[in-house]
Structure 1
Amino acid sequence: MDNNVKSPRRYVPLDYSFRFKRNKSTGLPFFLDNLGDDLLLVLLAFVPFSSDPISVALAIFFFHISFWTVYEIGYFENDAVSASLEHEAKVTPGFDRAATYFSERQAWLWAVAFAAPGALLVAWVTKPEAAGLFVLLYLLTWIALLGCLRAVYYAYNRIDKLSRVWVYLPLQILKYGFPLLFFYLPAAGAALIFAQCLRRWVPYIVYRYGRSGLVGLPSKVLRILSFLSIWLLLLPSNLSESYLIHGGIILGWLCLRGFKQTRKVVREMQHVQHDKWSSSGGMDS
């Protein structure tokens, strides 16, 4: 990061992610990776066989930007918590400068503004006869999802490093599966999204547990979350009594088999302030 670059005087959406959070020396620039990989993958999962591909794609684009505006709050908060609470504080270079102008309140306002045209497009596609009424309903529904995202990331930032492994997966599912709130997801699209979630999650597991050769990894908990994730992703395209009952039976058996490991994982969770996990490197969420 060039220290000669002047900090903006006011908050700009995604500026923290672009200028500070992403290490450009080890990967693609933020926007190139975010739009060329994350957004493109979501579009490929949802758009090709939709009833109105152009409108659906545009709606997903606006929701994607809205989503990341709130997701970025978690990025910033992660550094803030690390600086103030963690045993081994490690923050993004430039955090101190960004802290002078980053605003969660403004981030939320921008997120709602970005989501508004997305909600309008969803209403246009799904309820054209009463679009005005449904725009507000869809916008409120979207804000509720952003609230869920914020809560998950809040918890992620405040638990110990090993326990974050289990919160990391829901973050990825929200990141790539958010259009499920409004649009049908074909089975092939669900497989693509879950493959992407695993692509993010497995390296993160190795990063956190790898020092012991994964010996301490609770594999049965991993199995429960893997099944639950793909089952939920496929639910909208397989909404039937048999699918729900079958999935419930399987999930019950998996939880029974993994009860001891799950209980151990929950009991070992602790506040990040008391975390003893240490590393020589970092990994973005």
Structure 2
Amino acid sequence: MTTSLTRPQLKRPAPVVDSTRSDRSAARRIRSTTIVLGVILGVGALVTTFPFLWMLTASIKPQRESTDFPPSILPKEPTFEYYRVLFTELDFGRYLVNTLAVVGIGMVGLLVMAMAGYAFAKFEFRGKRGLFFLVLATMMVPIQVTMIPTYLILNQMKLTNTLLGIALPTLVSGFSIFLFRQFMTTIPTEMLEAARLDGASEWRTFWQIVLPLSKPILAVQVVLTFIAGWNSFLWPLIIASDQNLYTLSVGLSLLNKQLAVNPSLQMAGASVMVIPILVVFIIFQRFVIQGFALSGLK
């Protein structure tokens, strides 16, 4: 009895120092790995943003500094003269208005694509799979293939050389309908049925329930539609013969033809093209990430 009682008392306690040391070494390894990854990502971000920073600094350099060799990153005598030249001596003010009009017309298509995605996600009708297959098939056809038929159709409709003709072919996108459909499948059907039982019409259900729940994917589509309309170049160049209907991207390509080579003026024009896109993305980036994360869920 005495031996059996004293044996547990003779056991040595488990060492605590070794586990503490292992935890500390693991924490050091995690910390060092985090620091290394942070440095790598920081260098990658700097390399990625350097052309953009160079564009901004070059746009406020006098012309003599922009052609110096070796070039300097920061301007010695910064000036905003070339931004004034773009909007006073050149036609960039008109190009900006045209581009905003094209983007505004393209935003109207968001409602159409949202309704199409909602129909494919929540309604059952004859030919649904076939129609959705045709929508997906349009994503496989290069836009260059459809340019000539589209031009001929718009020419028959007397819409060539108009802002509506520039914006109309990009009003609806198969990819956007696909994203809307994928996101709206995540909306609970029970919620929609409860709204219908309460007497809500289909339009009211879509407007007051589906659209508010679809803010993330709407933000994604706003950014994609804005970028597509803002950067449109080839189609406006084809459909518009009047220079007063050109967009910013077309006007930027004309700088070399209108004036002698001026790197500062070209960088100022490029900055006018890029900065609004960055502002729109920064505003909607939280919803964009959330929308892309949820659009693949069911």
TM-score (norm 1): 0.24
Is the radius of gyration larger for structure 1 or structure 2?
2
TM-score (norm 2): 0.23
The structure whose RCO (Cα within 8 Å, separation 6+) is larger is 2
